[in-house]
Structure 1
């Protein structure tokens, strides 16, 4: 019961820390409110569109044709109206047949060009989205661990899925419609000047009223959309964390508390969206009012010109149709602003993610080491390290590990034990000092070749959805089935694997939900044996094992430690009494070093930790 209560308190503290960190991150993000210029956003979109420029150029060419044919249609009907008013029956009949066939031909050609245009732009849009998703994932997967320490998983998922999908309407619908609308507006103005320059000038003079209204709406809408996307990302991050920790939430009986947290976050999303609805509700009738002013003005001047016999009734009809064609894209603009602003905001978020740079990179011409010849001699020379500024986690730490030697690092929570593992793996870089592997500074070693030398076994083993075989091989085809079986036998994992009917081909659910913690641990040991890493890191590897597999795991640990340089971090001191050397860490400094018995004889910090744990 005492152990359970300690673990529950530990879990609560962890969750509290994550909550505070999440709030801090959200506050920081809201304070900064990074904004990207329209020009940069346009360049971002063009960068991907350029890859499919042929399809897009053909679509634009077809767009010019379809817009031209759309403007020709009113002219044909206007001509027929003039024939009906002024011509005799025989001229009217011949004209109706001629212009009717012409109208049908224009309609058929326009429909076909629209079909080709939609097909090409749709394909190009999907190819662009594929490229964006691919680039984001490839970029994110290369980022340093510190990026994932500071960024909730839900926000990363939102960038790759929701934000990318938001661009789908932008590329395949809105962008096409906007370009179409621009062609139509320009075409109507040109056509108006051809038919009647006087009325065309009336349109030109009054059109800025609509443009100014739209620009004001765009500015207000964009500000709200940025807020909405921030709140939506926070909601996704909260859901991702809550669903993945559902067992802990149930164990601690904090469902009601989580419901209240969700209500607050959900209310923020709802509030942002309602503001959008209000803005949209004001803009649409205001836009309608502005366009009707233009229509009434054009109709008034056209009627005066008909009375003065300056233009025909057919010409009035042409202008009425042109006004309908002109107002159509302006009305659509109101509909498209929602999608457009959402896509702009999503593009900002994607661009911000893609602009994150790797801080842990290999130097030019780095040393590439072969793990088969690595001896495993590790040395820390006066290492100082802090995650932020000069809040030092490690202070002037120096020690040496001989090839094949096993050491354990112990100490109270927050002493800096896991930070040493992160530094050896080069997930972070130190501020002062050196870390040496086989006589080479690890900053001079190519990162991937360095990490291939390390076999890391964590307390929380991640199991991918797939077979036992795939989870041991971990996407490395050079590891044969025979190597997998021998590795599993060596660490006693074969016993429970062979208990399944399909053995190594048995499919495991994500995170190994159907396996015990001990079985998941044995799979991680099998991975180390299969990859034959010369340096073994055990980070609380035996902290949560079950009694059923405890004996198997302890035997597996002894097997894989043999002949390897081993660094073990453990709270259960009984599991590290047989290592060659134990280092006691406290407040970022090495306080004691020695064997288990030597440290007990000192009656120092290790003695206190040991007696507190077993008495």
Structure 2
């Protein structure tokens, strides 16, 4: 997966044309968390103005030393001015440190608020939102795109504000001192600005290509190292080396292009800056010879010239930064604008303390987005409290879709689902999901310890409760053999655990949740016979005294269910007990015979 922080100039231009946001909207968005910290903001601006004043004063000391102390051969004045200049420079360092630190503090606090708000908004999106949006794209929005927004409230941006204040202050002072010389110098600024914009765009494109190629190299390395067994078995070492060579060679070409533009850029900008210096020396020297300007004035003028050139470079960088941030803001705002389709009723009530009657599914119909055919078509059934109901059928028949509807990951297209007579749309979402525990074939493992995974969602559980859940899930003996016990790291996606161990961890997690409704979605489908036996005993412990809904391809795991419902092509085809359905000689009997012949 390639994740780039900044688009190329060409991509940036295309995206800027299709933006659904305006610069004013972005400025208001960024300003909101900053203005909440007015004290820090005012303090930072005051420091920047003070810093600009100190920088302005340094050339004045040089002017006084040359025109007064040296001209009058006054050693006392010389020492005083040198000490004042050194003290001012030291103060600039101290104030600069305070400025950088406090501006970074303001930036971090503001952008952390933006990132947390975006993250929280993202997590509250509907399940369907994540099915339709690429994970990599969402990660880029939360990292690189918000990072681009942070650049607008970073110390660099505030220093640009300081530079602009310095620029106009110094420029005004120079025009007041000698308007002819100031006018000649300013003629070089448009040339400097245009060249910076021209070369920066091309260098950014080249370095963007280098970063993209670096992502390709990383992806290739990851792919190769994670599939080393496949490479060895099929003896494709030379093939993979050739592929890697092509990627690296392309990266070398991009790097040379970037170096070329950089090598051209530096001397041209140096020449333009030197040209401005030459103008000052030529005309200023002429004025000195004519006694219309002192040598100290001329030296100070050269120092001020540097102060004028720096803001031009910074403003050019700010324009690039602003355009990039605008594209990133549009992408972040798309998340913030997203509205959950599954909205909680304002008068929603908590889930019943214990399910005492049944889950009633009434004439339920469901269409996936952009689908013309229903995934479930006019389904009606009752799941009685305290009993086990099994759902069986061929792959794609709609079983897992029904589970997503029961937990309200999706809303029904027609009909209703009622828990003890209360419509699912009238139940508080959080309360509904807290009262349903789902154990699926695809076990979700968080990167952390075994304890983190068992306690996930039940963070206040005691050690005794965790131990009981481990025992009931038939995983306690395995955990106790580990050197670090519950504190054992499971690795990313649980790579240090077998499939059966991960499954039993998820069962322990469900037991600790102590929900009255249990949903088992192909919980033993991918396991060997021995693991299945261990897990089936754990599942039996989990289902005791609870309302259970079991989806299974292996019919040997559902024959004990009080009710078995066969779903075929989105409709209920058969209902009954195991013996009834075998005697019926229908779809269930066909599936059973296929598995046990």
User: What TM-score do you get using the length of structure 1 for normalisation?
Assistant: 0.79
Q: Deviations over 1:502-545 (max 9, x none)?
A: 65565544444343322332332233332221211111101122
For the residues of structure 2 that align with 1:603 and 1:408, how far apart are their CA atoms? Answer: 18
Separation in 1, partners of 2:256, 2:22: 26
- CA contact under 8 A between 2:364 and 2:376: conserved in structure 1? no
Q: 1:271 and 1:607, CA in 2 relative to 1: closer, same or farther beyond 3 A?
A: farther
Please state whether the residue corresponding to 2:184 is helix, strand or coil.
helix
Match of 1:194 in 2: 176
Q: Gaps spanning 5+ residues in structure 2: where?
A: 2-11
The residue number in structure 1 matching 2:589 is: 607
Answering whether residue 48 of structure 2 is matched by residue 63 of structure 1, we say yes
Q: Once the 2 structures are TM-superposed, how far is the Cα of residue 354 of structure 1 from its aligned partner?
A: 4.1
Match of 2:379 in 1: 397
Matches of 1:566 and 1:393, distance apart in 2: 23
Matched, 1:326 2:311: no
2:297 is aligned, of 301, 315, 319, to: 315
In structure 2, do the counterparts of structure 1 residues 206 and 518 end up closer, same or farther at CA, with 3 Å as the change threshold? closer
- Residue 47, structure 1, aligned to residue 29, structure 2: no
- Partner SS, residue 122 of structure 1: helix
Q: Residue 536 of structure 1: which of 472, 497, 518 is its match? A: 518
CA distance in 2, matches of 1:184, 1:213: 22
Q: 1:522 aligns with which of 504, 526, 536?
A: 504
Q: What secondary structure is seen at the aligned counterpart in 1 of 2:411?
A: coil
- Give the Cα–Cα distance (whole angstroms) in 2 for the partners of residues 569 and 232 of structure 1: 45
Give yes or no for the alignment of 1:74 onto 2:98: no
Match of 1:379 in 2: 361
Q: Which residue of 1 aligns with 2:98?
A: 116
- C-alpha distance in 1, partners of 2:415/2:233? 43
| 1:125 and 2:110 correspond | no
Please say if residues 210 and 290 of structure 1, whose CA atoms lie closer than 8 Å, have aligned partners that are also in contact: yes
Contact 1:152 1:237 in 2 (8 A): no
Q: Partner of 2:562 in structure 1?
A: 580
Residue 585 and residue 187 in structure 1: after superposition, are their counterparts in 2 closer, same or farther (change >3 A)?
A: same
In 1, distance between residues paired with 2:88 and 2:217?
Answer: 50
Kept after mapping to 2: 8 A contact 1:410/1:583: yes
Number of residues of Structure 1 aligned to a counterpart in Structure 2? 585
Q: 1:174 to 1:502 in 2, by over 3 A?
A: closer
In the alignment, the residues of structure 2 paired with residue 263 and residue 354 of structure 1 have an alpha-carbon distance, to the nearest angstrom, of: 42
3-state DSSP of counterpart to 2:405: helix
For 1:6, the equivalent position in structure 2 comes to none
Shift in alpha-carbon separation, 1:466–1:430, aligned structure 2, 3 A: same
Spell out the pairing of 1:6-21 with structure 2 (5 A cutoff): none
Query: Which shows bigger deviation, 444-453 or 303-312?
Result: 303-312
Superposition pairs of residues 408-427 of structure 1, within 5 angstroms:
408-427=390-409
Q: Displacement, 1:204? A: 4.2
3-state SS, counterpart of residue 461 of structure 1: coil
Q: Residue 23 of structure 2 corresponds to which residue in structure 1?
A: 38
Residue in structure 1 matched with residue 132 of structure 2 by the alignment: 150
Determine the C-alpha separation between the residues in 1 that align with 2:371 and 2:322: 40
List per-residue Cα deviations over 1:323-364 (Å, max 9, x = no partner): 122223444667788877766665554444444443323122
Q: Measured at CA, do residues 524 and 254 of structure 1 come closer, stay the same or move farther in structure 2, by a change above 3 Å?
A: farther
Corresponding residue of 1:7:
none
Local SS of the residue matching 1:419: helix
Could you list the per-position Cα deviations for residues 274-313 of structure 1 after superposition, in whole angstroms to 9, with x for gaps in the alignment? 8776766666555445544544444444344445543333
TM-superposition CA deviations, 1:547-577 (whole Å, max 9, x none): 3333232233333334332222212222222
| Contact 2:189–2:312 (Cα < 8 Å) also in 1 | no
**Separation in 2 of the partners of 1:203 and 1:506?**
68
Instruction: Give 1:456's match in structure 2, choosing from 438, 447, 455.
Output: 438
Contact 2:384 2:547 (C-alpha < 8 Å) held by counterparts:
yes
SS in 2 for 1:96: helix
The aligned counterpart of 1:141 is 123
After superposition, give the CA deviation of every residue in 1:471-523 in whole Å (9 maximum; x if it has no partner): 33324244333333333334434343444566556554444434332233233
SS at match of 1:127: helix
| Counterpart-to-counterpart distance in 2, 1:409 and 1:266 | 53
- After alignment, is 73-82 or 531-540 more displaced? 73-82
Return closer, same or farther for 1:556/1:476 CA change in 2, 3 Å cut-off.
closer
Q: How big is the alpha-carbon RMSD for the aligned residues of Structure 1 and Structure 2?
A: 4.4
Name the SS of the counterpart of 2:425 in structure 1.
Answer: helix
State the alpha-carbon separation in 1 of the partners of residues 389 and 235 from structure 2: 40
Distance 1:264 1:430, change over 3 A: farther
CA–CA separation in structure 1 for the residues paired with 2:182 and 2:505: 77
Q: Write the distance in 2 (CA, Å) between the matches of 1:467 and 1:279.
A: 50
